[in-house]
């Protein structure tokens, strides 16, 4: 009998949120050596060298902070900061995961959304206490969507850095430009400058590797074919698009990873363009979790690159939506090749 995501109601205890902050499975074995720089993009080779040097710095700081001086524990050295800025699919997450693998435990790796979810689940003080023992905190896809998140993350990173935790992040926007064009409040701008001072920004240029030399996204299948293919795929789920969107609204985004745990492939019937911002942002989180887990996606209805309306793609969350499209297309191509 076919499984449905809408029948799953995962529970994730708050104390497991820190333990599960590790790189996605597809980045379990990556290293600086396995990153292949594009010869046409010299910034990539330079970024690999800088990231490797940063990893060495993380180790030195952590080792130094855990040494006791002649008269007891010496003053804690501030953590280092590295910010990898670049477009979609240029290998920033590969480099971030390589930094993570090179650092001593304890350490944490998560997306910006996962970090804010962690703080929401544990509470600010508890989150600081749990993360302050880290040698490193890696934040993938650093984004600022509202002043509240900005203030909270700024406080969190400032306290962790002072506690000796080094911080590495990736984004598609330089730290000094995060939130640009969306918020004009003076408090917000002040927090942005504070965040920018934590990081040493490094640019990683190049085309999206997920789409290099690849054909356009596969055409959606018919509903009948979708059911047939889902039925023939062990461990797959088959859901109606609207039913799935409704189910996502009942789950905290921190549970989306558990929602798809153990699934081999996801089949979605009746995909159409979404016009509601809240619904679209849930799709973004689900797309991130599917991509992290490397789960193929096949749909009927509209093409995956038509899932967000033109108005949304022209709005303040444009980069989120473009990233989600990029990742969904990669997953749909993967399924087509299987």
Angle (CA) 233-239-241 rounded to 5° is 135
**Digit-coded pLDDT (tens) for 60-78:** 999 999 876 555 556 788 9
What sign does the dihedral 168-174-177-178 (CA atoms) show?
negative
Q: How far apart are CA 29 and CA 34, in angstroms?
A: 9
The number of angstroms, rounded, from the C-alpha of 311 to the middle of its chain's C-alpha atoms is 24
The reported pLDDT for the residue numbered 331 is 92
Beta strands, E only, the chain:
68-69, 72-73, 81-86, 107-111, 136-140, 166-171, 200-204, 236-240, 265-271, 297-301
The reported pLDDT for the residue numbered 121 is 79
pLDDT at 192: 57
List CB contacts of 148: < 8 A, sequence separation 6 or more: none
- At the top level of CATH, the class of 31-209 is alpha beta
- What is the structure's pLDDT at 184? 38
Largest interatomic CA distance in the chain: 75
Residue 174 has pLDDT above 60, yes or no: no
User: What would the pLDDT profile of 254-304 be if each residue is shown by its tens digit?
Assistant: 889 899 999 999 999 999 999 999 999 999 999 989 988 899 999 999 999
**Predicted confidence (pLDDT) at residue 180 exceeds the cutoff of 80:** no
| List of residues 6+ apart from 209 with CB closer than 8 A | 89, 90, 91
Residue 210: per-residue pLDDT: 55
Do 25 and 293 contact (CB within 8 A), yes or no? Answer: yes
Using one digit for the tens of pLDDT, what is the confidence trace for 322-331?
Answer: 889 988 998 9
| Residue scoring higher pLDDT (222 or 17) | 222
Q: Terminal CA-to-CA distance of the chain, rounded, Å?
A: 22
Give the whole-angstrom CA distance, residue 283 versus residue 325.
10
Q: Is the pLDDT of residue 57 over 60?
A: yes
| 268: nearest Cα among 302, 291, 292, 313 | 302
For the chain, domain boundaries:
5-10+214-337, 31-209
| 121 vs 267, residue with greater confidence | 267
Q: Which of 79-88, 130-139, 165-174, 306-315 has the lowest mean pLDDT?
A: 165-174
The pTM for the full model equals 0.74
Q: What CA–CA distance (Å, rounded) separates 164 from 291?
A: 32
- CB of 329 closer than 8 Å to CB of 217: yes
Per DSSP, the residues of 250-319 read TS-GGGHHHHTTT-SEEEEEEE--B--HHHHHHHHHHHHHHHHHT--EEEEES-GGGSB-HHHHTSTTHH
């Amino acid at each position: 009998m076919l499984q449905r995501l809408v029948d799953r109601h995962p529970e994730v205890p708050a104390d497991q949120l820190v333990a599960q902050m590790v790189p996605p499975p597809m980045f379990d074995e990556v290293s600086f050596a396995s990153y292949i720089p594009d010869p046409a993009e010299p910034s990539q080779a330079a970024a690999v060298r800088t990231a490797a040097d940063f990893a060495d710095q993380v180790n030195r700081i952590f080792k130094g902070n855990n040494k006791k001086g002649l008269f007891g524990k010496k003053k804690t050295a501030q953590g280092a900061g590295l910010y990898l800025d670049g477009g979609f699919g240029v290998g920033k997450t590969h480099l971030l995961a390589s930094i993570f693998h090179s650092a001593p435990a304890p350490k944490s790796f998560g997306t910006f959304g996962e970090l804010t979810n962690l703080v929401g689940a544990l509470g600010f003080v508890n989150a600081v206490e749990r993360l302050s023992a880290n040698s490193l905190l890696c934040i993938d896809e650093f984004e600022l969507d509202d002043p509240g998140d900005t203030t909270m993350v700024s406080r969190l990173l400032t306290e962790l850095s002072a506690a000796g935790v080094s911080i590495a992040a990736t984004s598609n926007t330089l730290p000094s430009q995060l939130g640009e064009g969306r918020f004009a409040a003076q408090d917000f701008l002040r927090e942005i400058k504070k965040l920018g001072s934590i990081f040493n920004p490094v640019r990683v240029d190049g085309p999206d590797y997920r789409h290099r030399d690849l054909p356009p996204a596969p055409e959606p299948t018919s509903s009948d074919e979708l059911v047939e293919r889902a039925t023939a795929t062990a461990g797959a789920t088959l859901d109606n698009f609207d039913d799935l969107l409704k189910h996502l609204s009942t789950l905290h985004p921190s549970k989306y990873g558990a929602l798809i745990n153990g699934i081999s492939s996801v089949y979605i019937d009746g995909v159409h363009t979404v016009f509601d911002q809240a619904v679209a942002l849930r799709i973004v989180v689900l797309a991130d979790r599917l991509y992290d887990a490397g789960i193929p996606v096949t749909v009927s209805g509209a093409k995956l690159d038509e899932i967000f309306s033109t108005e949304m793609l022209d709005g303040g969350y444009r980069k989120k939506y473009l990233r989600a499209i990029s990742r969904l297309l990669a997953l749909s191509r993967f399924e087509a090749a299987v």
